[in-house]
Amino acid sequence: MKRLWFALLAPVIATSAACTARRHADAGLTQVLLVPRAKAPIKPTGQFDVNIWGAAANTHTLLDREGHGAVPVSEARFLWGDGQLYMFFYAADIDLQVRATQHDGPVWKDDSVALTLSSSDGTKRVIQISPGAIVADGVCPEDAIDLGDPRCDLKWESRVHVAADVDGTINDAHDFDEEWAVEAAVPIASLLGGGPSPVDRVPLRVSRCEIAYDGVRACGSWGAHPKGGLELVEDLR
């Protein structure tokens, strides 16, 4: 149980995160996460290194639609570095379900984490990553539920580099799994469409849906409140 401390802290983290998110949403404010720079380039391994990620910006527990800590627990950490947005994502999970094995396959039907960047032209760029380190990415209309929408253009490539780590047995409903993690390096220019944009501010949503053995989806997100958004802002302190 390499990341058990995440689960042990979950009740406290969830309460704090939910209260903060409700204050932002009620006030109609944009959620801002101050993201420090990485001390050195990060090569994703999927393994949590406290020396790298201990000081990273932390969303804390992702929230459900009511603004409460989503169950099962998951959270994301972010760092900037040399044109990259680095992410470490942790997810508790007692039943790991992963079927997609090819790039741009139906990762959205699996246990996965999604990074979404909305654009002013009514589209959004979506990067979806499974515990099997399989990536699906594309450009979709803002109202698309997921990358499975036929209007999504899966030809867009984020050029994200990922690695994943799991504690459990994938696709075996007869045992109890523990957790999975994804570490990713996303080229910021690609995330922003390659155009000239500030590299110290990225409006982003992170979300995770857990796929249970009976098909029930339990979802949590950060940066998805109707009266506000999410911005990752470089912490210059």
Listing DSSP states for 88-141 in one string gives: EEEEE-SS------STTSSGGGSSEEEEEEE-TTSEEEEEEE-TT--EEEEEEE
pLDDT band at 144; cut points 50, 70, 90 = very high
Find the helix or strand (DSSP H, E) in which 14 lies: helix 4-27
Query: Which residue type occupies 23?
Result: R
Contacts of 78 (CB under 8 A, 6+ apart): 33, 35, 56, 57, 59, 85, 86, 87, 232
Instruction: Give the pLDDT confidence of 145-181 residue by residue, as tens digits.
Output: 999 999 999 999 999 999 999 887 777 777 777 899 9
pLDDT band at 59; cut points 50, 70, 90 = very high
Name beta bridge partners: 222: 206
Reduced to 3 states (helix: H, G, I; strand: E, B; else coil), residue 217 is strand
pTM > 0.85: no
Show me where the domains of the chain are located: 4-232
Cis link prior to 41 (omega < 30° from 0)?
A: no
Q: Give the mean pLDDT of 105-120.
A: 91
Q: Give the mean pLDDT of 64-91.
A: 91
Query: In the predicted model, is pLDDT for residue 26 greater than 50?
Result: no
- For position 202, what pLDDT does the model report? 75
CATH, domain 4-232, list 2.60.40.1190, 2.60.40.10, 3.30.300.30, 3.60.10.10: 2.60.40.1190
